[in-house]
């Protein structure tokens, strides 16, 4: 993948394909501790995103801005505004640069996390997507190397972070209504965050 707008468009297409392939898995996770729609919400959103990619712009930031606004207007639920904010903050951080670098990818990931936290007020340990994104940012920051290396480190840490949500009791979002009964299940949003980062890492490799 290149690190220009075309490369970012290719990465977003990969992410959409991964969301499609994991739609049922995400629905089933959300059935356990939510309302069984997370996979469908994301699938609807990324399908809409793909339909807009050809005219999305000629910088990585412009492309991510289109992704953000499309997710905000089509995903709904808790995840729509949260992922929308994440992509919007990442887009703003990348600005008008014509290509991403390892350093700007780390900064964009960190801005995405800050946006999710500002919007949803979740802390690490609340059993949300923040539990995947927080270790992902730390690992990305610590990873030397290429854009692919940074994203691979982020994806690996997000996978572990998502697995680590299993024993947690949810304190934010719909799953928190279940109290102690939310323990024993992986958080669907943490899982989808790990899937998206893996798709970006593989697209970049
Ligand atoms: P809804 O719960 O409205 O049906 P989704 O099922 O699409 O929305 O998304 C649920 C996911 O959103 C959860 O698994 C969790 O990761 C994430 N989430 C919910 N509330 C918050 C929050 N306040 N902060 C961060 N993430 C959250
Ligand atoms: Mg749901
Ligand atoms: Mg819902």
Which residues contact residue 106 at a Cβ distance below 8 angstroms, ignoring those fewer than 6 apart?
Answer: 137, 140, 141, 150
Alpha helices in the chain (DSSP H): 5-21, 23-33, 38-52, 60-74, 79-94, 102-120, 130-142, 147-163, 188-204
Q: 97 alpha carbon to ligand 1 midpoint, in Å?
A: 31
Give me the percent of the chain exceeding a pLDDT of 70.
Answer: 100
Q: How many CB atoms lie within 10 A of CB 52?
A: 14
Rounded distance between C-alpha atoms, residue 106 and residue 125, angstroms: 22
Q: What dihedral angle (degrees, nearest 10) is formed by the CA atoms of 171, 133, 90, 69?
A: -50
pLDDT at 1 over 90: no
Cα-based angle 145, 158, 27 (whole degrees, multiple of 5)? 140
Rounded distance between C-alpha atoms, residue 156 and residue 13, angstroms: 20
Which residues contact residue 36 at a Cβ distance below 8 angstroms, ignoring those fewer than 6 apart?
Answer: 27, 28, 30
For the Cβ of 116 lying below 6 angstroms from any atom of ligand 1, the answer is yes
Q: What is the ipTM of this complex?
A: 0.99
Arch. (CATH architecture) of 5-204: Alpha Horseshoe (1.25)
Q: 98 alpha carbon to ligand 1 midpoint, in Å?
A: 32
Query: Mean pLDDT throughout 151-166?
Result: 98
Q: 25 alpha carbon to ligand 3 midpoint, in Å?
A: 15
Residue with CA at minimum distance from ligand 1 atom 20: 173
Query: Mean pLDDT throughout 121-142?
Result: 98
Residue with CA at minimum distance from ligand 1 atom 7: 38
Residue with CA at minimum distance from ligand 1 atom 13: 189
For the Cβ of 152 lying below 6 angstroms from any atom of ligand 1, the answer is no
Give me the percent of the chain exceeding a pLDDT of 90.
Answer: 97
Residue with CA at minimum distance from ligand 1 atom 19: 173
Which protein residues have a CB closer than 5 Å to ligand 2 (ion)?
A: 30, 34-35, 37-38
For the Cβ of 86 lying below 6 angstroms from any atom of ligand 1, the answer is no
Orientation of helix 188-204 relative to helix 5-21, angle to 10°:
140
Query: Mean pLDDT throughout 119-136?
Result: 98
For the Cβ of 168 lying below 6 angstroms from any atom of ligand 1, the answer is no
Residue with CA at minimum distance from ligand 1 atom 9: 79
Are the C-beta atoms of residues 195 and 24 closer than 8 Å to each other? no
Go through 152-176 and write b for each residue having 16 or more CB atoms within 10 A of its CB, e for each that does not. bbbbbbbbebbebbeebbbebbbbb
Rounded distance between C-alpha atoms, residue 140 and residue 132, angstroms: 12
Express each pLDDT in 25-71 by its tens digit: 999 999 999 999 999 999 999 999 999 999 889 999 999 999 999 99
Report the pLDDT value the prediction gives residue 147, as an integer from 0 to 100.
Answer: 98
Report the pLDDT value the prediction gives residue 79, as an integer from 0 to 100.
Answer: 98
For the Cβ of 45 lying below 6 angstroms from any atom of ligand 1, the answer is no
């Amino acid at each position: 993948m290149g690190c220009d707008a075309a490369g970012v468009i290719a990465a977003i297409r990969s992410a959409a394909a991964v969301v499609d392939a994991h739609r049922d898995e995400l629905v089933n996770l959300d059935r356990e501790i939510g309302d069984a729609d997370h996979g469908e919400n994301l699938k609807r959103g990324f399908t809409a995103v793909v339909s807009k990619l050809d005219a999305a712009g000629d910088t990585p930031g412009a492309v991510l801005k289109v992704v953000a606004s499309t997710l905000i207007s089509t995903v709904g639920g808790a995840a729509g505004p949260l992922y929308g904010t994440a992509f919007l903050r990442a887009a703003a951080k990348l600005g008008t640069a014509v290509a991403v670098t390892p350093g700007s990818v780390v900064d964009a990931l960190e801005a995405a996390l800050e946006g999710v936290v500002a919007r949803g007020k979740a802390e690490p340990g609340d059993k949300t997507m923040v539990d995947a994104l927080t270790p992902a940012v730390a690992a990305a920051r610590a990873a030397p190397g290429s854009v692919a290396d940074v994203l691979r480190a982020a994806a690996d840490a997000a996978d572990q972070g998502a697995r680590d949500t299993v024993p947690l009791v949810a304190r934010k979002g719909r799953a928190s209504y279940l109290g102690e009964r939310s323990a024993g299940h992986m958080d669907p949003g943490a899982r989808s965050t790990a899937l998206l980062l893996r798709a970006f890492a593989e697209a970049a490799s």
